[in-house]
Chain A
Amino acid sequence: MGSDGTILEARNLTKSYRLGNREVEALRGVSLRVRRGEFVALMGPSGSGKSTLLQLLGGLDRPTSGEVVLDGQVISRLGDAQATRLRREKTGFVFQFFNLIPLLDVYENVALPFTIAGVDPRHGDAAARIHAVLALVDLLGRERNRPDQLSAGEQQRVALARALVSRPAILLADEPTGNLDYASGGEILDELWRSCDELGQTIVLVTHDARAAAHADRVLVVGDGKIRDEIELGRRADRRAGPLIARLAQLGL
């Protein structure tokens, strides 16, 4: 961790994909820093490289060049075993679609990080933590439900709970509200914000939606594989989207 409280740092990241004999440059040199406890939103048009960037920040994929440092550890060149440990211990993910294992019930889905790590999720600290995150996302009492017995919003709250339960150094969310109606999306955003505000959870959120981005402390605007702009909003109780939309309009976005 940097002395300034940086928990995540990207240095000059590039990523190109090979599609047949054509190279697609998804990222063309991205550098950024995220402070511990900060809530950062990545915005930008479709195909601008947001998801790619998020995957590199979370160690799901390797950059073509550049480095990612998470919690003092360079994670952009890890082998499979180390990368797996990193995912278990330091990162939590929420995706737009299909976050849950359909065969497992709510409790088991949330307990997955423990189960995978070989920790019995029915007892002790693990059980207490699962109880706490279920309370945070307001799903106590629904533990035995299967994913197909939940609404899309509830499913996404389960996914959020699972991502939070291992108390990751950083929570990475890729359009978690993209598939939800207005009200359910709002609930998820509130819960994200509360986890940040109350638990000090560091969050990187990818979104198209200014209303979602307005919950963040800082918004990074991604365009054509680069960070185009940075909007500092600061932590605040009023998370209406108005001011952010105005700023984006000022920037011509």
Chain B
Amino acid sequence: MRRLSSLAWRSLGARSARSFLTIAGVALGVAVLFASLSAGSTMDAAVDRAAADEMGRAVLRVQALEERGFSSAAVHAAEQAVGVSVAAPALERQTYLAVSPSQTASAKLPAPVTVLGIDPVREIALHDMPLASGRLLTATDGQSALISETMASQERLGVGDSISLNGTVAAGPQPFRIVGIVQGDAPVPDAGGRLIFVPLASAQTLFGTTGVTRVDLGVQAGTSVNSLTNQLERTINSEPYLLSRQADLAGSLRTEMADFRSALLLVAAVVLFAGAFLIFNTLSMTVSERAREVGLLRAAGTTRSQVMSFVLLQALLLGVAGSVLGVLGGVCLAGLSLSWVQSAGPIALAAPAISAASIGIAIVVGLLVTLAAALEPAWRASRIPPVEALRRGPAAGVAGPARLRWLFLIFGVLGVAALAIWPGSSGGAVGTGGVAAGGSAMWGPLAVYGLFFLAVLLVPLLLGPLLRVAGIPFRVFRNEERLARSSLARDPSRTALTAGALVVGLAMVVALGTAAENVPKIGTAWLAETIPGSEVLTSIRPVSTTDPIRAELAAMPGVRSVSPIGLFGVPYQGVRQEAAAIVGRDYLADGRLVFVSDGGDRTAALTALDAGGSVVLPESLADQGGIHVGDELTFATGPSSARLRVAGIVAHSIPAGSQEAILIGWSDATDLFGVAGADFYAVRYASGQESSSRAALDAAAIQYAFEPSSLDRVQGAVGDALDRIFRLLDALALIAVLVAGLGLANTYSMSVLERVREIGVLRATGMSSRQVWGMVVVEAGLLGVFGAIVGAVVGLIAGALLVAWSSGGFGLAFEPPWVSIAVAVVFGVLVSIAASIYPAGLASRFSIVRALQHE
């Protein structure tokens, strides 16, 4: 047929409302996909920019693992390496602006500042410092400082003002004069924009050290980074360090956002899945409505493949229109999403990136899904025999399994597409140890996706029994309910397909709700299992183990123990492994730290930690390395590496970064790993004394510049960011429900049009138009309740899976997300009923006479 395309156009135009709904469904799916891709590339761009800002023109960053930093010998060794053009050392420390006496009474600590001691000449050779005002530091500067623009505006400071920085107790607060203001946030991700540059020597005096925390290296043209790396490994052999390139920095930043990105993709896949249902349903309807027409075409000599391409062409038109609209909508959606989330991990997010690649991917995926969904109806149309032209009445339905076959196809297409565009796993091997970090981000969502698929396949089986249950709320309308239920059961596979999209959308909402409800609890439970106390006092600077503050705090009334914990990195098998210095004795008193069955003797292990020469490993790390109790681990601490015996293995250890820390006794931590002191104190109160003693302890802690917070508050800060992300994902999942709603509207209209005669008979028998209306609406309500029941159950299972994935096997009392379930049920039923309002009105307004004449 020459004019196949014009026939396809007209066929879509003949049912313009239906075509419009379908395009809207595809567009929503593509929009969410595009938004998710665009959010992903925005994050990538932000990460790359942050990494580039941080590294400047430096090719390699040599970072000291020990808190006291590199000695001048190590800096010298880096400087002398062949091929190095510039070596810029720096000392990074956090501190507070010295508060004036009038401010000390305040019950809250001010935000800390990050001080970067630099060599003014060398630093500028590798890092641009665009000035907003004033001048740069020079080699002759002493107590001079550059501050970031952000900090200047927050603290209302300007060039020429003086600031006073807290240093070591010995050094006391020291004054600095601001000579210049650097544009923007200044490039240290964790500083939150509050950055102060001072000359290196002044910083070293302020913090009472001779070390530097990093040396950035610029290289001469033609120098191979690999050979330089090898060289440094030979020459800097007395102190543990970490080498990173720009890509490694970006990679480690990126892993922090991987979960968010894969969750976004999962939601996009779910919305597209719902969109695919819509396309499939629309085309199926068109095909069965036009069976007679197709029969006529066939009788007139149209070939099967012509019929098939006719249907596929219609799909293509829908797909193109939907995808293009979807990309447009996606741009807005991405902007909204990013401004809602604001930041992911340590990186602030800017305007959405609109790359040709993400536009291309979104459109291609949109079209692929459309075509995949269209294949089955197209194939079915091509099988319509010419005799269909002679048949009276609507075409006979096709059996269930045949219809469900297409699901496999779409599932596969979406799965493959998801794998193809999965955010690349983290870049460098150096820099991250990688304990169960990368892989789980992908498999969790994939498993959930698979579960949803299974659920849709099960829907036809559940339909009969569950519809009875779903009918209970509608028993008031007895006849309507009865008729509606049997009408839904008439074509289980179509009902299943319609309900399937609803089920998946609602399941997503409930799954996200489950995760949102339970993931923060895991964090709290984790801390509760591994921190010896109910409150932590955090310090931005390491507090020496000999500092009298600890004893003073421990002596306060109601306080039972104050246990110092220091977090640090250890070089193990060429990568940085997180470690925590703890007092084993403090854990003996209560049941914290759960030793696994072959994890050694608790008392012996904890005592051994304090004695030195031992470590306690988290199970995840022990499993990964095949390490058992009694094994010896070697840490490359310097020329003579340290060997420590594994005294025990615990189910969970103190969380640090994205890992679990190796537990090490304080004597080893200070002697072998150069740990300067505790990062926080864990406070345990005498039983029943917490409420009465806490206020006094907190006040005292703040005096010493400790930030007091209860364990759930520690989690709370992370939780707030997480909460925003979950709510965004929830909103996107509701879009899936909306798309399902469009499918429902299509199906209800179709089913009403199929039943014109039947409705005529019912009306002639005495059914009022109100009752007809009610019948259609109750049918929708039934399907909504059905979808909500199945969706809630599937969503709970999926949520439990997601939670289990991130819980590290915590046996938590699982809390069902009642709010999300309520939202899903109400939204599901409402969407379903809303979708039926128009078809119900249509059905109730049929003229009886016309309806009876209808064939």
Q: Which residues of B contact A88 (CB under 8 A)?
A: 765-766
Q: Which residues of B contact A61 (CB under 8 A)?
A: 847-849
For chain B, the count of residues having a C-beta within 8 Å of the partner chain is: 25
Is the pair A98, B490 in contact by a Cβ cutoff of 8 Å?
Answer: no
Is the pair A115, B847 in contact by a Cβ cutoff of 8 Å?
Answer: no
Is the pair A102, B758 in contact by a Cβ cutoff of 8 Å?
Answer: yes
B487 in the interface (beta carbon within 8 A):
yes
Is the pair B849, A118 in contact by a Cβ cutoff of 8 Å?
Answer: no
4 cross-chain pairs, A with B, having the tightest CB-CB distances, nearest first: A88-B766, A103-B486, A84-B768, A87-B766
Closest beta carbon of chain A to B22's beta carbon, Å: 28
**Taking A61-B847, A118-B478 as contacts, is the C-beta distance between A99 and B761 under 8 angstroms?**
yes
Nearest-CB residue, chain B, relative to A56: B849
A103–B484 Cα distance when bound, in Å, is 10
**Taking A61-B847, A103-B490 as contacts, is the C-beta distance between A93 and B482 under 8 angstroms?**
no
List residues of B whose CB falls within 8 A of some A CB: 478-479, 482-483, 486-487, 489-490, 757-758, 761-769, 771, 847-849, 852, 855
List residues of A whose CB falls within 8 A of some B CB: 55, 58, 60-61, 80-81, 84-85, 87-89, 93, 95, 97-104, 112-113, 115-118, 162, 166
Is the pair B769, A84 in contact by a Cβ cutoff of 8 Å?
Answer: yes
**22 A–B contacts from the bound complex (CB under 8 Å):** A60-B848, A60-B849, A61-B849, A80-B769, A87-B764, A87-B765, A95-B761, A95-B852, A97-B855, A98-B761, A99-B761, A100-B761, A101-B483, A101-B762, A102-B758, A103-B483, A103-B487, A104-B486, A113-B766, A115-B479, A115-B482, A116-B767
Nearest-CB residue, chain A, relative to B853: A51
Closest beta carbon of chain A to B564's beta carbon, Å: 75
Is the pair A80, B478 in contact by a Cβ cutoff of 8 Å?
Answer: no
A45–B849 Cα distance when bound, in Å, is 20
Nearest-CB residue, chain A, relative to B767: A116
Nearest-CB residue, chain B, relative to A58: B764
Q: Which residues of B contact A80 (CB under 8 A)?
A: 768-769
Nearest-CB residue, chain A, relative to B851: A60
Closest beta carbon of chain A to B480's beta carbon, Å: 10
B479's partner among A87, A98, A116 (CB-CB below 8 A) is: A116
Q: Which residues of A contact B763 (CB under 8 A)?
A: 84, 87
Nearest-CB residue, chain B, relative to A87: B766
A115–B483 Cα distance when bound, in Å, is 10
A87–B757 Cα distance when bound, in Å, is 17
Q: Which residues of A contact B855 (CB under 8 A)?
A: 97
A103–B754 Cα distance when bound, in Å, is 13
B765's partner among A98, A103, A162 (CB-CB below 8 A) is: A162
Closest beta carbon of chain B to A16's beta carbon, Å: 14
Q: Which residues of B contact A118 (CB under 8 A)?
A: 478-479
Q: Which residues of A contact B489 (CB under 8 A)?
A: 103
Closest beta carbon of chain A to B840's beta carbon, Å: 15
Q: Which residues of B contact A102 (CB under 8 A)?
A: 490, 758
**Taking A60-B848, A60-B849 as contacts, is the C-beta distance between A113 and B765 under 8 angstroms?**
yes
Q: Which residues of B contact A81 (CB under 8 A)?
A: 768
A37–B848 Cα distance when bound, in Å, is 27
A113–B761 Cα distance when bound, in Å, is 11
Is the pair B758, A55 in contact by a Cβ cutoff of 8 Å?
Answer: no
Closest beta carbon of chain B to A20's beta carbon, Å: 16
Q: Which residues of B contact A85 (CB under 8 A)?
A: 766
Is the pair A101, B761 in contact by a Cβ cutoff of 8 Å?
Answer: yes
A112–B489 Cα distance when bound, in Å, is 19
Nearest-CB residue, chain A, relative to B847: A61
Q: Which residues of B contact A112 (CB under 8 A)?
A: 762, 765
* Central interface residue in B478, B486, B768, B847, by most chain A CB within 10 Å: B768
Nearest-CB residue, chain A, relative to B485: A103
A113–B762 Cα distance when bound, in Å, is 9
A30–B718 Cα distance when bound, in Å, is 84
Q: Which residues of B contact A97 (CB under 8 A)?
A: 757, 855
Known A60-B848, A84-B767, A98-B758; 12 more pairs at CB < 8 Å: A61-B847, A84-B763, A93-B765, A95-B761, A97-B855, A98-B757, A99-B761, A101-B762, A115-B478, A115-B482, A116-B479, A162-B765
Closest beta carbon of chain B to A8's beta carbon, Å: 17
* Central interface residue in A93, A98, A118, by most chain B CB within 10 Å: A98
A88–B762 Cα distance when bound, in Å, is 10
A168–B764 Cα distance when bound, in Å, is 13
Q: Which residues of A contact B761 (CB under 8 A)?
A: 95, 98-101
A98–B852 Cα distance when bound, in Å, is 9
Closest beta carbon of chain B to A182's beta carbon, Å: 21
Nearest-CB residue, chain B, relative to A52: B849
A84–B487 Cα distance when bound, in Å, is 23
Closest beta carbon of chain B to A49's beta carbon, Å: 13
* Central interface residue in A85, A116, A162, by most chain B CB within 10 Å: A116
Q: Which residues of A contact B758 (CB under 8 A)?
A: 98, 101-102
A115–B480 Cα distance when bound, in Å, is 10
Q: Which residues of B contact A58 (CB under 8 A)?
A: 764
A87–B482 Cα distance when bound, in Å, is 21
A117's partner among B482, B766, B849 (CB-CB below 8 A) is: B766
A85–B478 Cα distance when bound, in Å, is 19
A92–B848 Cα distance when bound, in Å, is 14
A127–B62 Cα distance when bound, in Å, is 92
A102–B393 Cα distance when bound, in Å, is 13
A166–B765 Cα distance when bound, in Å, is 10
Q: Which residues of A contact B478 (CB under 8 A)?
A: 115, 118
A103–B762 Cα distance when bound, in Å, is 13
A117–B479 Cα distance when bound, in Å, is 9
Q: Which residues of B contact A113 (CB under 8 A)?
A: 765-766
Nearest-CB residue, chain B, relative to A115: B479
Q: Which residues of A contact B479 (CB under 8 A)?
A: 115-116, 118
A189–B768 Cα distance when bound, in Å, is 30
Is the pair B771, A116 in contact by a Cβ cutoff of 8 Å?
Answer: yes
Closest beta carbon of chain B to A149's beta carbon, Å: 16
A58–B849 Cα distance when bound, in Å, is 11
Is the pair B769, A60 in contact by a Cβ cutoff of 8 Å?
Answer: no
* Central interface residue in A55, A95, A101, by most chain B CB within 10 Å: A101
Is the pair B757, A60 in contact by a Cβ cutoff of 8 Å?
Answer: no
A117–B771 Cα distance when bound, in Å, is 10
A87–B848 Cα distance when bound, in Å, is 12
Is the pair A93, B764 in contact by a Cβ cutoff of 8 Å?
Answer: yes
Closest beta carbon of chain A to B393's beta carbon, Å: 8
Q: Which residues of B contact A95 (CB under 8 A)?
A: 761, 764, 852
Closest beta carbon of chain A to B357's beta carbon, Å: 52
Q: Which residues of B contact A93 (CB under 8 A)?
A: 764-765
A117–B766 Cα distance when bound, in Å, is 8
A95–B848 Cα distance when bound, in Å, is 13
Q: Which residues of A contact B849 (CB under 8 A)?
A: 55, 60-61
A116–B477 Cα distance when bound, in Å, is 10
A116–B770 Cα distance when bound, in Å, is 11
Is the pair B765, A84 in contact by a Cβ cutoff of 8 Å?
Answer: no
A185–B821 Cα distance when bound, in Å, is 58
A101–B763 Cα distance when bound, in Å, is 12
Q: Which residues of A contact B767 (CB under 8 A)?
A: 84, 116
A55–B853 Cα distance when bound, in Å, is 12
A85–B582 Cα distance when bound, in Å, is 85
A97–B760 Cα distance when bound, in Å, is 12
Closest beta carbon of chain A to B398's beta carbon, Å: 17
Q: Which residues of B contact A89 (CB under 8 A)?
A: 766
Closest beta carbon of chain A to B751's beta carbon, Å: 12
A85–B758 Cα distance when bound, in Å, is 19
A84–B761 Cα distance when bound, in Å, is 12
Nearest-CB residue, chain B, relative to A172: B764
A80–B770 Cα distance when bound, in Å, is 10
A99–B486 Cα distance when bound, in Å, is 17
Q: Which residues of B contact A99 (CB under 8 A)?
A: 761
**Taking A80-B768, A84-B768, A103-B487 as contacts, is the C-beta distance between A116 and B762 under 8 angstroms?**
yes
A112–B764 Cα distance when bound, in Å, is 11
A102–B490 Cα distance when bound, in Å, is 9
Nearest-CB residue, chain A, relative to B769: A80
Closest beta carbon of chain A to B397's beta carbon, Å: 12
Nearest-CB residue, chain B, relative to A95: B852
Q: Which residues of A contact B769 (CB under 8 A)?
A: 80, 84
